[in-house]
C-alpha cells in the first residue's frame, strides 16, 4: 500500500500566523527519508493554506512524485498545467467548507475540458469521488487513470463510535444514532469500498483513498486489496506536533501494515 502525505496541512499553521514558518517545503526531505511514495498538496482557489509559490517550490524540489489537488476551475487547471505535477486530483471546492466535503459532481461541463487539458500536458488525472457504482462507471467513461475514494463518511462513523466527538461541539448530527446502527453503517462503508475498488480495478482504474484517515481507522482501509494508495494529511501532521514528523510518518506506515 502506497502512502501520499498531504503536507499542505503544515501551511495551515503558518497561514494562521501569516508568517513564513513552518514551511511545508521542509517536509520533503523527511518524507523521502521515511520512504513515503508521494507528496500530496491542495492548492485551494482561496489560497487559504499553501500558496502558488509553495506549490512551485515543492514540485521543483521534490524527488517524489507530486499529486496536486485542485478544483476544476479553468484558472486552476491552467496553473496545474504550468506547474506540471505528476498527477492532478480534481476535487470539489466550496468556499465555506473547512475541508473537502464529499466527492466531485461528475456531470459538470468543465470536467471533460479539464481532463483533456491535463492529459495534453502529460499529467495523469485522478477524480476524488464518493464510493458509488455510478461514480466509478462515470470515471471510467471520463478516461482518467485514477480515482480516489472519499473516506470521509467512514471516518466520521468511526470517530462517532470510538472517540468522544459525540459529546463535543463537533458532534455530527446525522450520526446521532445507536452504536449498533453505527457499527452496521461502518461495515456497509467498508464493504462498499471493497466492492467498488475491486470493480474499478477490473475496468482498469487505479484506486486511491483518503480523507479523515488516522492511526486508529486506517488499518481496515489499508487492508482492502484493490486500494493502491492512501493520501493522509491531518492525522499525520497533528501527530507530528507530539513526536515529530519522521516518527509520525513511520507510525502511520506501521498502522497501515
Ligand atoms: N485526499 C484528498 C483528495 C483530500 O482533499 C484530502 C484533504 O485535503 C486528503 C486526501 C487528506 O485528508 P486528511 O487531511 O483528512 O487526511
Going from the C-alpha of 253 to that of each of 31, 119, 140, 191, the distances in angstroms are 12, 31, 30, 23
* The listed CATH number (3.30.420.40, 3.30.565.10, 3.30.450.20, 3.20.20.70) that belongs to domain 2-152+207-256: 3.20.20.70
Nearest-CA neighbor of 209 among 127, 141, 93? 127
pLDDT in tens, the chain (257 residues): 999 999 999 999 999 999 999 999 999 999 999 999 999 999 999 999 999 999 999 999 999 999 999 999 999 999 999 999 999 999 998 656 666 667 899 999 899 999 999 999 999 999 999 999 999 999 999 999 999 999 999 999 999 999 989 988 998 989 988 999 999 999 999 999 999 999 999 999 999 999 999 999 999 999 999 999 999 999 999 999 999 999 999 999 999 99
Q: Closest ligand 1 atom to the C-alpha of 155?
A: 15
Nearest-CA neighbor of 95 among 51, 129, 46? 46
**Range 9-31 burial, b when 16+ CB lie within 10 A, else e:** bbbbebeeeeeeebebbebbebb
Distance 190 CA to ligand 1 centre (A): 18
Distance 163 CA to ligand 1 centre (A): 20
Catalytic residue among 9, 49, 150, 211: 211
Q: What residues does each domain of the chain span?
A: 2-152+207-256
Residue 141 catalytic? no
Instruction: Find out whether 5 and 232 touch, Cβ atoms under 8 Å.
Output: yes
Nearest-CA neighbor of 209 among 114, 30, 144, 200? 200
Q: Closest ligand 1 atom to the C-alpha of 232?
A: 16
Amino acid at each position: 500500500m502506497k502512502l501520499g502525505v498531504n503536507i499542505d496541512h503544515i501551511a495551515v499553521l503558518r497561514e494562521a500566523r501569516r508568517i513564513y514558518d513552518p514551511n511545508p517545503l521542509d517536509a520533503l526531505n523527511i518524507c523521502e527519508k521515511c520512504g513515503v511514495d508521494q507528496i500530496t498538496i491542495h492548492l485551494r482557489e482561496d489560497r487559504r493554506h499553501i500558496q502558488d509559490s509553495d506549490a512551485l517550490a515543492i514540485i521543483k524540489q521534490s524527488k517524489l512524485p507530486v499529486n496536486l489537488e485542485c478544483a476544476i476551475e479553468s484558472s486552476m487547471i491552467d496553473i496545474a498545467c504550468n506547474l506540471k505535477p505528476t498527477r492532478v486530483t480534481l476535487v470539489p471546492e466550496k468556499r465555506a467548507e473547512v475541508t473537502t466535503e464529499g466527492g466531485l459532481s461528475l456531470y459538470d461541463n468543465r470536467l471533460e475540458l479539464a481532463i483533456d487539458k491535463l492529459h495534453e500536458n502529460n499529467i495523469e488525472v485522478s477524480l476524488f469521488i464518493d464510493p458509488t457504482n455510478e461514480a466509478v462507471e462515470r470515471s471510467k467513461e471520463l478516461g482518467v487513470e485514477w480515482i480516489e475514494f472519499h473516506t470521509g463518511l467512514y471516518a466520521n462513523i468511526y470517530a462517532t463510535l470510538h472517540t468522544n466527538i459525540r459529546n463535543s461541539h463537533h458532534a455530527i448530527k446525522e450520526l446521532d444514532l445507536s452504536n449498533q446502527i453505527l457499527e452496521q453503517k461502518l461495515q456497509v462503508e467498508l464493504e462498499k469500498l471493497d466492492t467498488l475498488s475491486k470493480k474499478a480495478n477490473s475496468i482498469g482504474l487505479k484506486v486511491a483513498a483518503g480523507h479523515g484517515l488516522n492511526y486508529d481507522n486506517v488499518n481496515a482501509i489499508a487492508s482492502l486489496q484493490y486500494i493502491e494508495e492512501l493520501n493522509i494529511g491531518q492525522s499525520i501532521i497533528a501527530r507530528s506536533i507530539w513526536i515529530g514528523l519522521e516518527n509520525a510518518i513511520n507510525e502511520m506506515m506501521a498502522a497501515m501494515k
